[in-house]
Structures are given as C-alpha cells and as structure tokens.
C-alpha cells in the first residue's frame, strides 16, 4: 500500500521522515502512472523499512508540483532529510523504470549511512579507501 500525502502532510511524512522517502508524483489521468504502480510496490517490498513510498496527486497539490518543478508525470523523487537525492522522470516504460530503480537502490544502499550526524565507522573506512 502507498501512503497518499498532500501539501498539509508532506513536511511530516516526507521532509521529517526518519527514513528516505520515494515520492511518486502522479495524476489520475496519467496512464504511465497506473502502469508503474506495481513496480513501485515491488521496489518497496524489496527495500523493506529502509525506504518509505508515498504518492502525491500532482493535480491536487499545485504548490508541491511547483516547488519540485514538475514537467512530466510520473516524476519520482528520493528524498532524505529534506534533500532530493535522486530524480527519475521521462522514463518510457516498465523496463526503463525498473533499471532506474535498480540503479537508485544500488547507489543508495552503497552510500555511507550517518547516525546522529556522524558517519558510521564502516562508512568512514569506505570514505578513506575511496580517497574522499
């Protein structure tokens, strides 16, 4: 199940979320939006509690649509701590979206995790090894 958020609940459910949030901007008239929904649910089940999935009706939430400069639907944003980490838009179908989600999951799960403003020890080791 996808949690539906709006302008009133967006800050609490997305920007203040303890886990990263994949925001699906969609509209009832958008055919591709309906087609990708099962893939998003599959992606969510693969990620478990690591990522939250929410849906936003772009037509009913004009301020959010404007704030995130939507030019096409569906548009997917991975937001963590109020920052857009990934933006997916303009994909042509299921295979394209599946590849983009797989890449996003790979990139996200291989990033250093921070706890209380500090990078974890294993992440510090990774940063040292990569020369960052």
Residue 80 sits in a domain whose CATH number is 3.40.30.10
- Answer whether 22's CB lies under 8 Å from 78's CB: yes
Q: Point out the least confidently predicted range of 8-12, 64-68, 103-107, 127-131.
A: 127-131
Whether 121 maps to a domain, the answer reads no
Whether 130 maps to a domain, the answer reads no
| Domain membership of residue 105 as a residue range | 3-110
Whether 97 maps to a domain, the answer reads yes
The rounded mean pLDDT for the chain is 82
Q: Which of 2, 27, 30, 85 is catalytic?
A: 30
Q: Which of 33, 58, 78, 104 is catalytic?
A: 33
Whether 123 maps to a domain, the answer reads no
Q: What is the pLDDT of residue 123?
A: 34
Domain count, the chain: 1
Does 33 qualify as catalytic in the annotation?
yes
Whether 34 maps to a domain, the answer reads yes
The phi and psi torsions of 68 (rounded to 5 degrees) equal -100, 10
Q: What is the pLDDT of residue 64?
A: 98
Does 47 qualify as catalytic in the annotation?
no
Whether 25 maps to a domain, the answer reads yes
Is the whole model's pTM more than 0.85, yes or no? no
Whether 37 maps to a domain, the answer reads yes
N- to C-terminal Cα distance for the chain? Answer: 39
Residue 56: pLDDT over 80: yes
């Amino acid at each position: 199940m996808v949690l539906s958020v709006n302008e009133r609940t967006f800050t609490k459910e997305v920007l203040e979320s303890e886990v990263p949030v994949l925001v699906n901007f969609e509209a009832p008239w958008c055919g591709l939006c309906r087609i990708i929904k099962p893939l998003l649910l599959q992606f969510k089940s693969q990620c478990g509690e690591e990522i939250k999935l929410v849906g936003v009706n772009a037509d009913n939430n004009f301020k959010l649509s404007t704030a995130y400069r939507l030019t096409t639907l569906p548009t997917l944003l991975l937001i963590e701590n109020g920052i857009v980490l990934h933006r997916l838009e303009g994909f042509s179908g299921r295979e394209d979206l599946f590849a983009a989600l797989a890449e996003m999951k790979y990139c996200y799960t291989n990033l250093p995790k921070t706890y209380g403003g500090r990078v974890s020890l294993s992440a510090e080791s990774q940063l040292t090894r990569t020369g960052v």
